[in-house]
Structure 1
Amino acid sequence: MNVKVFEKLHKEGLINDNSLASVKTTEENRLFSLHWEIKTLLYLGVLLLSGGLGILIYKNIDTIGHQVILLIIGVICAGCFSYCIRQKLPFSWEQVKSPNTFFDYALLLGCLTFVTFIGYLQFQYTAFGTAYGLATFIPLAVLAISAYYFDHLGVLSMAITNLAAWMGIAVTPFQLLSANDFSSRQLIYTGTLLGVILLLLAMLSTQKNLKKHFAFTYQNFGAHIIFISCIAGICMFDDAHFLWLLFMAGIGTYIYLQAFRERSFYFVLITVLYLYLGFTIVFFRVLFKMADIGALYLGFFYVISSAIGVILLLINLNKKIKNARV
C-alpha cells in the first residue's frame, strides 16, 4: 500500500483525516508474509533429510545392515504416502490445490524415498536381475500416477526424468550404455522420440483438458530435449545435417506458433536461440569446407551481424507478444 498516494489525496481534499489515519495505521500494522521463506525452508528440509539419511547409511552400512536400511526407507516412504492419501482432496482433471503446506513436502519426500528404495534394492540385491529397464519403469509408473493422483508438478518433473532414464536404458542397446558411448546415434534418436512424446502429451493435456496446467512442464522438457537432440544430430550426422536442420526448423515452427497462441515469450526465446544455434553450426560446417581467407572474414561478419539480428528479432517479437496481450 502506497501511503504517499493517500497523503496526496488528503492534501487535495479527496479524503478526510480519519481515512488517512486509518490507512497509516493499517500500513504500520500490516502482517509480513513468510510464505516463500517457509516453503524454502521446507524444501531445504526435505533435501537435507534425504541427504542426511544417505550419508548416515553410507558411513554406518557395516553396523546397520542392509535389511534395516531398507526397512527405514520403506517406513518413511509408506508413512509419507499414507499421510498424503488421508489428506488429499478429491481427484479432478482440473487443478487441485494442496490441502495444506506440509502436504507437498510429505509427498515429495515419499517419492524420493521410494526411488531410493527401488534403487537400493536393485543395487544391493539385484532384485530385477539385468532387467534395468524394469528397475526404472517401476519408479516411473509410481511417480506418474502420483503426479496425477495428488496433482503435483514437482513429482511430474521427477516422472519425466525417470521416463528419460527408462527410455535411455530400454530403447538404447545395453552395449552402448556399458561402453559409455553417449555419442551414439541411437541415443540421439531416443532423445528425439522422447521430445516428440512430451510435446504430444503437452498438446493432449491442453486439448483434452487433462490436468491442463501440466502442459507447460511437458512442453518445457520436450522442447529442450528435442532441440538438444536435433543439435546433436546436426553435429554427429555428417551426411544428413541439413535434414536434421530441416526437422529442427519444423519442430521450431510448431513450438513458435504454439508460443504465440499462448502469449509465451519464453518458448519464443528458446526456439529462436536453438534454431539460431543449429543454423550457425550448419553454416560453419559448410564454411570450413571452403578453407580460405575469404571464409574466415565471412565467418566473422556472420557472427557479428547475426548476433545483432537475433537480438533485434527477439526485441521485436517481445513487443508483438505484449501488444497481443492488450
Structure 2
Amino acid sequence: MIPDDLYEKLKDEGTISPESYQKLCEKQRNPLFSLHWELKTLLYLGVMLLSTGLGILIYKNIDSIGHQAILAFIAAICTGCFYYCFKHKKPFSRALVKSPNAVFDYLLLLGCLSFLSFTGYLQYQYEVFGTNYGLATFIPMVVLGYVAYEFDHLGILSMAITNLAVWMGVSVTPSRLLSSGNFDNNTLIYTYLLLGAILLIGGFLSERFNFKKHFRFSYFHFGIHISFIALLMAYFNHYDSTGSLLWMLVLFVLAFYLYRDALAHKLFYFMLLVILYSYAAFSILVFRLLDNFKDGDVIYLLCLYFIISAIALILHIGRLNKQMKSL
C-alpha cells in the first residue's frame, strides 16, 4: 500500500493537481476488492449443481420423460457446450493457453460432464458396448485426454487421468484403496505400479519436450500418491518373505529421486509428500525391528521413537520450507 504522505509530497511539488490528489486519497481509503476466486468458485459450484440437479430430475421423472428424450437432452447440452468452446477457443499451442473468457472453462467442464453422463447412460440402458466395459471406459478417456490438451484445461486432465485409472481397473483415490483392505491382490499392486509409472513418466516427458509442461504438476500429483501406496501394498503383501525389503528399497530409491526433483523445481508440496511417505515407510521398518523385543519394551520404545521422530520431522520440514523460500 502506498503511504498517504507520498501523495501529499507529490501535490506540494506540483507533480499532481489537487483534484488528482483527492481522487488518489479516496481510492487509497476505499481500495478495490477482488472477487476473482469467489466468482470462479461459484461458477464451478453452479456447474456441479446443474449436473446434479439434472440427474435428480431425470431419475425422478424417468418413466414420464423416456430414455430417448433424456439422451437427446443430454446430447444437446453436450453439443451446445462443445460448439461454443470450439468456436471461441484460441489456437493450439504447446505452451500455456489461457481461456478466452470466464465462461469458457465452465461450459467446457459442463460439456465433458454431459459427455460422461451420455456415454454412461447409453451403456447402462442400452448396453451399446455389450460386456466390453474396457471399451466403455477407453472412449471417454481418449476424448477427455484430447479435450484437456486441445483446450489446455487442468480439470479435464484430472478427469482423463481418473478415466485412465478406471480403464486399468483401479481407483485413483488413495482412501478408497486403503478402506477396501485389498492388500493381497498382486494384479492390483502391479497395475497400480504401472499406472504410477505411466503418470510420472508422462509428467517428465511433458517437461522434457516442452509439451504442455504445466501439466506436469497434475501427472506428478496422482503419480506420487499411487506409486508410494502401491509400493507399500507390495511390501505388506510380501511381508513374510525377504522380497519385502526389496520393495522398501525401491520405495526409498524413488523417494530420493523425487526429493531431488522437487528441490530442483522448488516444489514444496511434492517434497512434503515424499517426506511423509518416506517417514511412514521408515516407521514401518522401525516397528518391524522393535517387534522382536518383549511386549512391555516395545510400547515404551515406540512412544519414544514417535515423539523424537515427529519433532525431528516437523523441524526438518520447517527448515526446508525456509530454504526453498530463500532460493
TM-score by length of structure 2 reads 0.89
Instruction: State the 1:111 CA deviation.
Output: 0.5
Is the 1:133–1:166 Cα contact (8 Å) retained in structure 2?
Answer: yes
1:296 and 1:123 map into 2 onto residues whose CA distance is: 53
**Larger mean Cα displacement after TM superposition, 79-88 or 34-43:** 34-43
Instruction: State the 1:15 CA deviation.
Output: 5.6
Secondary structure at the aligned position of 1:42 is classed as helix
Q: Once superposed, what is the RMSD of the aligned Cα atoms?
A: 2.1
Matched ranges for 1:1-326 at <5 A: 1-2=1-2, 5-7=3-5, 9=6, 13=9, 16=12, 18=18, 20-28=21-29, 30-168=31-169, 182-183=182-183, 184-238=185-239, 239=241, 240-323=243-326, 325=327
Instruction: State the 1:181 CA deviation.
Output: 8.2
Distance 1:315 1:32, change over 3 A: closer
Is the 2:7–2:24 Cα contact (8 Å) retained in structure 1?
Answer: no
Secondary structure at the aligned position of 1:198 is classed as helix
Instruction: State the 1:259 CA deviation.
Output: 0.6
**Larger mean Cα displacement after TM superposition, 218-227 or 240-249:** 240-249
Secondary structure at the aligned position of 1:168 is classed as coil
1:232 and 1:298 map into 2 onto residues whose CA distance is: 26
1:290 and 1:166 map into 2 onto residues whose CA distance is: 46
Distance 1:66 1:286, change over 3 A: farther
| CA offsets 1:189-243 (integer angstroms, 9 cap, x no match) | 1111111111111111111100011111111111111112222222332123322
**Larger mean Cα displacement after TM superposition, 236-245 or 275-284:** 236-245
2:296 and 2:26 map into 1 onto residues whose CA distance is: 74
1:313 and 1:30 map into 2 onto residues whose CA distance is: 40
| CA offsets 1:231-286 (integer angstroms, 9 cap, x no match) | 22223321233222111111111111111111111111111011001111222133
1:37 and 1:103 map into 2 onto residues whose CA distance is: 17
2:136 and 2:294 map into 1 onto residues whose CA distance is: 50
**Larger mean Cα displacement after TM superposition, 110-119 or 138-147:** 110-119
Instruction: State the 1:31 CA deviation.
Output: 4.3
Instruction: State the 1:61 CA deviation.
Output: 1.2
2:292 and 2:181 map into 1 onto residues whose CA distance is: 28
1:121 and 1:208 map into 2 onto residues whose CA distance is: 38
Q: Which AA in structure 1 matches 2:322?
A: K
Instruction: State the 1:95 CA deviation.
Output: 0.7
**Larger mean Cα displacement after TM superposition, 124-133 or 77-86:** 124-133
Instruction: State the 1:62 CA deviation.
Output: 1.2
User: Matched residue pairs, number?
Assistant: 311
2:56 and 2:10 map into 1 onto residues whose CA distance is: 65
Instruction: State the 1:292 CA deviation.
Output: 3.3
Secondary structure at the aligned position of 2:97 is classed as coil
Distance 1:34 1:315, change over 3 A: closer
| CA offsets 1:104-154 (integer angstroms, 9 cap, x no match) | 001000001111111111111221111111111100000000000011011
TM-score by length of structure 1 reads 0.89
2:153 and 2:31 map into 1 onto residues whose CA distance is: 32
| CA offsets 1:291-325 (integer angstroms, 9 cap, x no match) | 432223221111111111111111222222223x2
Unaligned runs of 5+ in 2: 171-179
2:253 and 2:127 map into 1 onto residues whose CA distance is: 43
Secondary structure at the aligned position of 1:206 is classed as helix
Distance 1:14 1:68, change over 3 A: closer
Identity %: 53
2:21 and 2:229 map into 1 onto residues whose CA distance is: 58
Is the 2:193–2:226 Cα contact (8 Å) retained in structure 1?
Answer: yes
Is the 1:259–1:268 Cα contact (8 Å) retained in structure 2?
Answer: yes
Is the 1:73–1:113 Cα contact (8 Å) retained in structure 2?
Answer: yes
- Corresponding residue for 1:175? none
Is the 1:140–1:159 Cα contact (8 Å) retained in structure 2?
Answer: yes
**Larger mean Cα displacement after TM superposition, 58-67 or 99-108:** 58-67
**Larger mean Cα displacement after TM superposition, 17-26 or 58-67:** 17-26
2:312 and 2:106 map into 1 onto residues whose CA distance is: 45
Instruction: State the 1:287 CA deviation.
Output: 2.4
Is the 2:7–2:25 Cα contact (8 Å) retained in structure 1?
Answer: no
Is the 1:234–1:278 Cα contact (8 Å) retained in structure 2?
Answer: no
2:11 and 2:124 map into 1 onto residues whose CA distance is: 72
